Structure 1
Amino acid sequence: MDAFDKEIITAFFVASLSGDTATDIIRKKISLSPEYIQEKIDYLVKNGFIENNKKTLTEFGRNSIRVVLAGGVFDIIHPGHIHTLRAAKALGNVLVVVIATDKTAQKMKNRIPLHNMELRKDLVRSLSMVDYAVVGYEGNIFKSVEIIKPNIIALGYDQVHQEKFIIDGCKKIGIDVSIARLQSPIPDIKSSKIENDYGKSIYGI
């Protein structure tokens, strides 16, 4: 199986979350002829990675990739986010990012977010290392985990989640995950600091 086969399997996984067709996802990422893409899909069907319906992955196909889940508010995208998400993507084949709801963001930041959750989701989804972004569920971080079924959950340097709490919560819903604590080379950069410094520069305070 080559790198392009992995890309196709990744597209089928993302399609299972987004509702898009895998072929549309593939064509947006890689400029190849429909005939070649179909030839590759047929090969993966024949070898047991994709179901005969050519719409979903087999269990073997799903287990051939590592899915990484990251989460956060992402109200202002800054270099710390970019570094963290790149590091998260490097842990596996697929990076899915869960965006905090507006209510959750307000609780976490003690302020109303500058951008609503749909805009924050679209901004994150536009990043090249992100395969899929989705808004999370209010008050239940494990609901998204249950749907995505990641192999790895990546935590940013400033995320206070307790690793044991996450592992135990995942076990309760029958999901075995690894936790990766990511570091930022520039930990002093935070959205709140950027917003505060911007306000000072605008109003001269």
Structure 2
Amino acid sequence: MTGVVAQGTFDLLHPGHVHYLEDAAAYGDELHAIVARRTNVTHKPAPILCAEQRRDMVAALDAVDEAHLGHPEDVFVPIERIDPDVIVLGFDQHHDEGDIADALAERGIDCRVERASARDPRYEDELLSSGDIVDRILKRRGPGPADRDGDPGDRA
């Protein structure tokens, strides 16, 4: 059995996420999705939704066999536990395949690193980015009470 890992923030689940996970699932027999905790998301704004909600949404997708929360301090801990044959990065994720492969080798994790294909919008106003979805909501509805109350943070 070929185990595959896909990882990401998966905030405000959208068709680009579904494409990524379906593409990743095609690399093997069992897809594990690792959902980043808010504290590990440092390359873009913090997620809107809590980690548990994002994990539950990802777990509900047919392509995903098991969804996991990321480790709060070390993003490689779940990968060590799952011991996949393949890690599939999203086509536009900021990670460098070579850097990931080097970190895996340093930890004695023997798996290859692949990059998922892109998905083009299929409709005129389809959004494939959580950031674009947030921007559209703010443009259409303006800032609301949640913007003034602060960030609740992850519960777990």
Q: TM-score, normalised by structure 2?
A: 0.82
Match of 1:109 in 2: 44
The structure that is helix-richer by fraction is: 1
Gaps of 5+ in 2: 122-126, 144-156
Query: Deviation of residue 135 (structure 1)?
Result: 0.6
Q: For 1:155 and 1:192, how far apart are their aligned partners in 2?
A: 19
Structure 1, residues 88-121: CA drift from partner, whole Å, max 9, x if none? 001100000000012123x23223x221001111
- 1:73 paired to 2:73: no
Q: How many percent identity over aligned positions?
A: 35
Query: Deviation of residue 185 (structure 1)?
Result: 1.9
**Match of 2:28, SS?**
coil
Query: Deviation of residue 171 (structure 1)?
Result: 1.4
- The 5-angstrom pairing of residues 37-56 of structure 1 reads none
Structure 1, residues 149-173: CA drift from partner, whole Å, max 9, x if none? 0000000011111112111111122
Pairs aligned (count): 138
Match of 2:102 in 1: 168
CA contact (8 A) 1:71 1:98 kept: yes
Q: For 1:139 and 1:161, how far apart are their aligned partners in 2?
A: 17
Q: For 1:136 and 1:79, how far apart are their aligned partners in 2?
A: 22
**Match of 1:141, SS?**
coil
Question: C-alpha root-mean-square deviation of aligned residues, in Å?
Answer: 1.7
CA contact (8 A) 1:154 1:180 kept: yes
Bigger Cα Rg: 1
Match of 2:78 in 1: 144
Q: Which has the higher contact order (CA 8 A, sep 6+)?
A: 2
Match of 1:83 in 2: 19
Q: Which moved more, 1:144-153 or 1:187-196?
A: 187-196
**Match of 2:88, SS?**
strand
Gaps of 5+ in 1: 1-64
Q: For 2:98 and 2:75, how far apart are their aligned partners in 1?
A: 14
Query: Runs of at least 4 residues of structure 1 off by over 4 A?
Result: none
Q: For 2:139 and 2:128, how far apart are their aligned partners in 1?
A: 16
Match of 2:148 in 1: none
- The 5-angstrom pairing of residues 1-205 of structure 1 reads 65-105=1-41, 107-111=42-46, 113-186=47-120, 189-203=128-142
Query: Match of 1:116, as an amino acid?
Result: C
Q: For 1:189 and 1:93, how far apart are their aligned partners in 2?
A: 26
Q: TM-score, normalised by structure 1?
A: 0.63
